């Protein structure tokens, strides 16, 4: 999947995030941000942008624990990129270990594979 393909998929997830926010559906909003994180991981600037979006949403939700966790991830993401230790499928919120690989949701995996 190219960076351009990733941006296309991310745009769709951001639209889902915005719709969830408009509907005041925090669970769906976080899910869209997590999917954005999965897509963005191979591209450092996109990866950092996904954590920045999570940080902003955590602050919007007044979730201090999540906001602190996102600050740490913003610092750690470049180190993971340099060392090649980015766990595939990791959804990115602070409630999940930053080093834990996770299965990619099947629908998202299919869309990512279609772009390859």
- Identify the domain containing residue 72 by its residue range: 3-114
Which pLDDT does position 115 carry in this prediction?
75
pLDDT digits (tens, 9 = 90+) for 46-89: 999 999 999 999 999 999 999 999 999 999 999 999 998 899 99
Spatial separation of the C-alpha atoms in residues 22 and 25, rounded to whole Å: 8
Q: Compute the half-sphere exposure of residue 46: CA atoms within 13 Å on the CB side of its CA.
A: 22
Decide if 41 contacts 47 (C-beta within 8 A).
yes
Q: Give the SS3 label for residue 33.
A: helix
77-101 pLDDT, tens digit each? 999 999 988 999 999 999 999 999 9
Number of domains, the chain: 1
The whole-angstrom separation of Cα 63 and Cα 65 is 6
pLDDT at 116 over 80: no
Report the predicted TM-score, pTM, of the whole model to 2 decimal places.
0.94
* pLDDT for res 65: 97
Closest listed residue to residue 21, CA positions, set 11, 12, 32, 10: 32
Q: What is the mean pLDDT of the chain?
A: 96
Q: What is the pLDDT at residue 12?
A: 98
Sign of CA dihedral 39, 3, 1, 15: positive
């Amino acid at each position: 999947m190219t960076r351009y393909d990733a941006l296309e998929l991310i745009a769709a997830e951001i639209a889902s995030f915005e719709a969830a926010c408009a509907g005041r559906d925090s669970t769906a909003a976080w899910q869209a941000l997590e999917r954005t994180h999965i897509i963005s991981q191979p591209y450092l600037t996109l990866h950092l942008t996904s954590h920045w979006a999570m940080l902003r949403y955590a602050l919007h939700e007044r979730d201090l624990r999540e906001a602190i966790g996102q600050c740490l991830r913003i610092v750690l993401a470049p180190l993971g990129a340099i060392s090649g230790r980015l766990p595939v499928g990791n959804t990115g919120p602070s409630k999940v270990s930053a080093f834990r690989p996770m299965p990619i949701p099947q629908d998202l995996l299919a869309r990512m594979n279609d772009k390859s």
